[in-house]
Amino acid sequence: MTTTVAGTRASHMPLFVAQSWALVMRAVVRFVRQPASWIPGMVFPLLLVAVNSSAMSRVATLPGVVPPGTTFLMFLLPAAIIQGVMFGGISGGAELATDIQTGFFDRLISSPVSRPSILVGRLGGAMAFGAFQAVVFQLILWPFGGDVVGGIAGRLVLVVVAVVLSLGFGALAAGIAARTGQAEAVQGFFPLVFISLFLSSCFFPTELMSGWYQTVAEYNPISVMVDGMRYQVLEGFSWSEAAQSVGVAAIIAVLGLWFAAAGVRKRIAVGG
Amino acid sequence: MSAPILVEDLRRTFDDITAVDGVDLEVHDGEIFGFLGPNGAGKSTIVRMLVTLLKPTSGRARVAGFDVVSQSAQVRSSIGVALQDAAIDPLMTGRELLRLQAVLHGIGRKDGNERSERLLERVGLTEAADRLVGGYSGGMRRRLDLALALMHEPKVLFLDEPTTGLDPMSRLNLWEEVRRLNTEFGATVFLTTQYLEEADELAHRVAIIDHGRIVREGTPVALKDQVGSPTLRLDVPGEQYEVARDLLVQFGEERAARSGRLAVGLDAGATGMRDVVRALDEAGIEVLHMELDAPSLDDVFAEATGRRLEGAGE
């Protein structure tokens, strides 16, 4: 879309970028102005980490669970980030459903806004929130023993994975939002994702699992992703482990984007 | 220039329900066109097709000279839209929303900011510009919605039930604003409404829709004249009753009235009042009470559909 109002554009920023940026800022402003919508999603993972690290601290003493000199809280740090990002991403996607329900989506598509900007604006907000969560979780857990052996580089990997994963979860949620137009339907997606976290190595080492649970957890892509993040926290920075985590997050993001773009395209074509 | 809105045999079905059933319309340049009908008549479906939010099942529509299906991007650049229920983000301020609207329409930052300030002033929201829209009254939201629709100075403006749910004073203010932007900007306005008096007050021409079909179209005066002539009711002193009656029947057919009152249908329409008054004056008849009962658009609707529109949408 290159249509402009004749003689009025002074900026050299491409229209798509300007529109996407404006919609990202709107998404960020909405997050900031309704803390009740995201604070519980940040508090819950922290509480879960606090409870698990306290109740299962003796797990860390078992051989092979965590390297010497590290803590079970460090083991759980990636899980807290993934869980928070999942909450945030889904909330970000659900905002698209809110836009559809309130008619703001119609306002957008009846303007000459570039179509991809609508999705970029929504998901850009979710990514910004994902980065915020990854930083805040690390800062909060740091004084309680939630250090990262990989240092700045390792911490940065956690933030990058969080951002890419926010895009993935946000896109999947936006895809459901575009297809159903119902925020409730998007929230209904949450338990499925939550279960997928429990069926992974997020909260417990797969070595200590048994039977089908262990098999599912070992083959769960989320385990692959969280193990790569955990390596940065417990062992030190590693390019290959970072690529493993970012790669899985990126696959989720690509699938999510395909799902979301198809959903938005369909909604615009059908005219909701 | 071709008509700003031209619709030919437009249809839209939803599964087995026909919401719009072969509509033809032509809206002239610079006019306020009122689209009147009860809830569920198909008004909003037609608007959604004209503003490219909904694809027609069949038929053609051109807005601002562009086809709504094959040239939808050009249509969107040329129109301003204020849809039903003023879909305004309650978590943003009026000023933020106007600036966002400017970006969405490809207007540069400096120009967008200037236009935002002008529009805020125009719709009387400068004071409230930095308050969250969630705290605005219904009237303020509608005025902001109108300002948003005007950001890019559109050639054609669609207002879908802009006063639904507003109190009488807010409604009057919004009517005044619509009139002003029509006369000052020369914008063609397509206004849907379920309020008879709104269409009567604002619209140069009116189309009445029922069950997805246009049942009447024309100027409000012409439509009402088609229903019948206005009825003049007159009270005069008893001793002048017969003289007055002989005089009045020269202006039209006598109609039923309560005892002691005269009633006549004016053949010349409401404009015939001037001649009646002059004749009564010249004959020295004392008029105790006089009223002119003109047909309303509701009478037009009733004549076309056999039902009353008044209150149907409440």
What is the end-to-end Cα distance of chain A in Å, rounded? 22
A chain contacts of residue B74, beta-carbon cutoff 8 Å = 3
> Does residue A254 lie within any of the structural domains?
yes
Quote the tokens at residue B134.
Answer: 């969630």
pLDDT top residue among B168 and B237: B237
Q: Does residue A170 contact residue A126 with C-beta atoms inside 8 Å?
A: yes
Domain assignment present for residue A242? The answer is yes
Residues of A whose CB is below 8 A from B87? 102-104, 106-107
Pairing mode of beta strands B32-36, B205-210 = parallel
Poorest-confidence range of A251-260, B154-163, B166-175, B239-248? B166-175
> In the prediction, which pLDDT does B129 show?
95
> Above 60 in pLDDT, residue B132?
yes
Dist CA A222 CA A252 (whole Å) = 10
> Is A5 part of a structural domain of the chain?
no
A52, A76 contact by CB (below 8 A): yes
Within 10 angstroms of residue A254's Cβ, the number of other Cβ atoms is: 14
Residue A193 and residue A169 in contact, taking contact as beta carbons nearer than 8 Å: yes
Q: Are strands B32-36 and B17-27 parallel, antiparallel or unpaired?
A: unpaired
Catalogue all structural domains in chain B, each as residue range(s) with its CATH number.
5-217 (3.40.50.300), 229-294 (3.30.70.980)
**pLDDT confidence tier of residue B185, bands split at 50, 70 and 90:** confident
Q: For the segment A10-69, what is each residue's pLDDT rounded down to a tens digit? A: 455 688 899 999 999 999 999 899 888 888 888 988 888 888 887 777 777 777 777 777
* For residue B28, pLDDT beyond 60: yes
Does residue A200 carry a pLDDT above 70?
Answer: yes
Tell me how far apart the alpha carbons of residues A126 and A27 are, in angstroms, rounded to a whole number: 8
Contacts of A29 in chain B (CB under 8 A): 91-92, 96
- At residue A180, the pLDDT reads 92
Model pLDDT for residues A94-107, shown as the tens digit of each residue: 889 989 888 888 88
How close A178 comes to chain B (CA, Å)? 15
Question: How much is the average pLDDT of A134-144?
Answer: 91
> Domain tally for chain A?
1
Exposure letters A198-224 (e unless 16+ CB within 10 A, then b): ebbbbbbbbeebeeeeeebbeebebbb
DSSP bridge partners of B189: B32, B157
Question: Looking at residues B173-197, what average pLDDT do you find?
Answer: 86
The answer as to whether A139 is a domain residue is yes
Question: Beta-carbon neighbour count of residue B290 at 10 Å?
Answer: 15
Specify whether the CB–CB gap between B7 and B26 falls below 8 A: yes
CB contact under 8 A, B91 and A33: yes
Contact call for B103 and A22, based on CB within 8 A: yes
> Quick one: tokens of B250?
């020269």
| Minimum-distance CB partner of B110 among A3, A10, A15 | A10
Facing residue for B103 by CB, picked from A18, A34, A107: A18
CA distance A31 to chain B (A): 9
- Burial class for B52, CB neighbours closer than 10 Å (0-12, 13-18, 19+): buried
Q: B92–A26: do the CB atoms touch at under 8 Å? A: yes
Average pLDDT over residues A260-266: 92
Q: What gap in Å lies between CA A51 and CA B166, rounded to an integer? A: 53
Instruction: Write the DSSP symbol of residue A56.
Output: T
Q: Which helix (H) or strand (E) holds A265?
A: helix A239-270
User: What pLDDT does residue B313 have?
Assistant: 43
A-B contacts (CB, under 8 Å): 98
The confidence band for A5, taking pLDDT boundaries of 50, 70 and 90, is: very low
Q: Name chain A contacts of B101, Cβ cutoff 8 Å.
A: 111
User: How far is Cα B252 from Cα B269, in angstroms, rounded to an integer?
Assistant: 10
* A1 within some domain: no
Q: Which residues are CB-neighbours of B188 under 8 A, at least 6 positions away? A: B4, B5, B27, B28, B29, B30, B31, B32, B33, B155, B156, B157
- Report if residue A3 sits inside a domain: no
Strands (DSSP E) contained in A110-187 are: none
Q: Is A210's Cβ below 8 Å from some Cβ in B?
A: no
User: Is there a domain that residue A7 lies in?
Assistant: no
Rounded CA separation B25/B8 (Å):
7
pLDDT higher than threshold 50 for residue A8 = no
The answer, yes or no, to whether ipTM is higher than 0.90 is no
Q: B48-96 pLDDT, tens per residue?
A: 999 998 999 999 999 999 999 999 989 998 999 888 766 788 999 999 9
Inter-residue contact B202 to B191 (CB < 8 Å): yes
| pLDDT single digits (tens) A154-163 | 999 999 999 9
Q: A residues 65-124 near B, CB within 8 Å?
A: 102-104, 106-113
Most confident of A40-44, A196-200, B48-52, B291-295: B48-52
CB contact under 8 A, B87 and A104: yes
Other CB atoms within 10 A of residue B186 CB: 10
Kindly give the residue spans of alpha helices, DSSP state H, lying in chain B: 43-50, 72-78, 94-104, 109-122, 138-150, 168-185, 196-202, 220-227, 241-248, 273-282, 297-305
- Determine, yes or no, domain membership for A10: no
Tokens representing A21 are 């940026």
- Say how far apart CA A53 and CA B94 lie, in whole Å: 47
pLDDT at position A114 over 60 = yes
Nearest CA to CA, how far is B60 from chain A (Å)?
17
Q: Which of A12, A104, A110, A270 to mutate to test the interface with B (most CBs of B within 10 A)?
A: A110
Point out which residues pair with B290 in neighbouring strands: B234
Please answer yes or no on whether B77 and A3 come within 8 Å at the CB atom.
yes
Q: Do A112 and B77 touch (CB under 8 A)?
A: yes
Average pLDDT, chain A: 86
d(Cα A103, Cα A122) in Å, to the nearest integer?
15
The strand order across the sheet containing B261-265 reads: B261-265, B231-235, B289-293
Does the pLDDT of residue A271 top 70, yes or no? no
Q: What is the DSSP letter of A151?
A: H
Give SS3 for A52: helix
Q: Which of A262, B213, A264, B72 is nearest to A272 (CA)?
A: A264
Ordered strands of the B156-160 beta sheet: B79-82, B156-160, B188-193, B32-36, B205-210, B213-218
Domain that holds residue A133: 15-270
pTM of the model: 0.80
